Amino acid sequence: MIQTNKKGDWFEMIIPASWEQYTLESLFKGFWKAPKKVVHQFRLDKKVLINGVQPDWTQPLKKGQRIQLKLFTEKALTVIPEYHDIGIIYEDDHLIVFNKPAGMDTHPNERGQTGTLANAAAFHVQSNGEASNPRHIHRLDRDTTGAILFAKHAFIAAILDKMLEERFIKRTYLALADGIIRQKKGTFNKPIGRDRHHPTKRRVSETGQNAVTHFKVLRQMKEENLTLVQCTLETGRTHQIRVHFSDFKHPLAGDALYGGSETFQRQALHAVKLEFIHPFTQEKIECHAPFIDQPPIFLNIELYDI
């Protein structure tokens, strides 16, 4: 774990031995994989110091040096702050993992919209006296619950976006599918595109975007005619798990949009776990999202067995 410290607008890291293979240039572009435009702006604005002075970006880093990044400058909020009682699973100076409830959009879909998780995130950071502008890294459907990641500043957002794209952020879901699925595990590798006949619906389509979902059967619930499945995603298409299971003829229970039974008032889908290596501390972050539905959809499920 890398030693870090926040000092006003500046964030400081003590360079470990493992970073001696990098220059400042290769740390930003090779290790963090920050966009060239972002790196250029850091250099132009002189927002990077080593041991308190302007650095030579081409010199190898040395163990014990202090690298300082100006990350916490004040930014105007782009959404309206609004209080909501949302569970927080993990938080530090750079990111937040919320436990999103059902019936809440991840972000506004039009200017001035409120009632979304982004509004709640903006209120949370403002109430903590943080001059940041939190932004979601991935999305959850309105009626899907569970762990969702927000970045507090633009630099960590750029890094996390790349990590998500390169599958270094692992997302695990629980779902209850209609019917009894006989096979123990499987993979759906079917592209997903828009449904021309419905404004919000998606469908498996040869001309759609690549979409890969892995699943494992955890429990066959024969009395309820349901199957509890664990899903992991390689891609993050809109409604991906819902579309793939509907196409598999086992739609999610409660998912009226995709032909699911009326067992529940919403689709039985919960983002149960989020895992990644923190870009700055190199600590493994593993977030388990408690079930928050009342009445509960996922009865008698051991969360930490997932």
Q: What is the pLDDT of residue 299?
A: 72
Confidence tier at 237 by pLDDT (50, 70, 90)? very high
Is 100 within 8 Å of 145 (Cβ atoms)? yes
Which of 134, 136, 139 has its CA nearest to residue 123?
134
pLDDT tens digits for 32-78? 999 999 999 999 999 999 999 999 999 999 999 999 999 998 777 88
Complete domains list, the chain, with CATH:
4-70 (3.10.290.10), 87-166+271-305 (3.30.2350.10), 171-267 (3.30.2350.10)
Q: What is the pLDDT of residues 139-169, one digit of tens each?
A: 999 999 999 999 999 999 999 999 999 999 9
Q: Three-state DSSP class for 280?
A: coil
CB neighbour burial string for 154-185, b if at least 16 within 10 angstroms, e if fewer: bbbbbbbbbbbeeeebebbbbbbbbbebeeee
pLDDT tens-digit map of 251-288: 999 999 999 999 999 999 999 999 999 999 999 999 99
Find the catalytic residue in 9, 56, 93, 141: 141
pLDDT value for 294: 76
Whether 56 sits among the annotated catalytic residues: the reply is no
Structure tokens, 300: 């008698």
What would the DSSP string read from start to end of 35-62? -HHHHHHHHHTT-EEETTB---TTSBP-
Share of the chain above pLDDT 70, in %: 99
Please, which residues have CB within 8 angstroms of residue 173's CB and are 6 or more apart in sequence? 146, 230, 231, 232, 233, 241, 269, 270, 271, 272
Instruction: Report CA-CA distances (Å) from 164 to 106, 150, 168, 275.
Output: 17, 12, 6, 11
Task: Answer with the residue of higher pLDDT: 240 or 293.
Answer: 240
Q: What is the CA radius of gyration of the chain?
A: 21
**Token pair in block for residue 225:** 């005619």
CB 147 within 8 A of CB 271: yes
Give the per-residue pLDDT at 17. 95
* Spatial contact of 139 and 151, defined as CB atoms under 8 Å apart: no
Interatomic CA distance for residues 128 and 124, integer angstroms: 6
DSSP state of 254: T
Q: What is the pTM of this model?
A: 0.94
Helices (DSSP H) in the chain: which residue ranges?
A: 24-26, 36-44, 117-127, 154-165, 240-247
Strand 284-288, strand 212-221: pairing:
unpaired
Residue with tokens 């501390």: 281
